[in-house]
Amino acid sequence: MTDEVRAAALRMYAAFNAYEHTATEEIFTTDFFSHPLGTTGPESVTRSWQQFHEAFPDAQVIVEDMVVEGNTAAVRTTVQGIPGQQAPTMLEIFRVRDGRIAELWALSSLRRGS
């Protein structure tokens, strides 16, 4: 199970970094829920990624640490390519079901706007 969970998390970051917005259909469950955004479904992730890349076209997420237990991964990342600030950090926790991300919790130090 841990290999499947790790692979799902790494696939998500790889797709984000490669601007593979449509890959969300393969990465997230149809009933995926994002607690920070209060949104459901892979299409909500697609929209979020597109908006983020429009605001920060050079952004790349770098995985710093990942801890996997059972069907859950906790991942600490930095986000490179955000102008005007030190690389923000994020802590994301994913629950994986059947090889796909089903649920997400997150904290971020990213400052948006002034």
CATH code: domain of residue 37: 3.10.450.50
pLDDT for res 97: 97
Given a contact cutoff of 8 angstroms between Cβ atoms, the answer to whether 35 and 105 are in contact is: yes
Q: Is residue 78 part of a domain?
A: yes
Is 93 inside a domain boundary? yes
> Is 53 part of any domain?
yes
Is 59 inside a domain boundary? yes
Whether residue 114 is contained in a domain is answered as no
Contact yes or no for 24/46 (Cβ under 8 A):
yes
Does residue 113 form part of some domain? no
For 58-67, what is each residue's pLDDT tens digit? 999 999 999 9
- The mean pLDDT value for 82-95 works out to 92
Q: Which domain holds residue 22?
A: 2-108
Mean pLDDT of the chain: 94
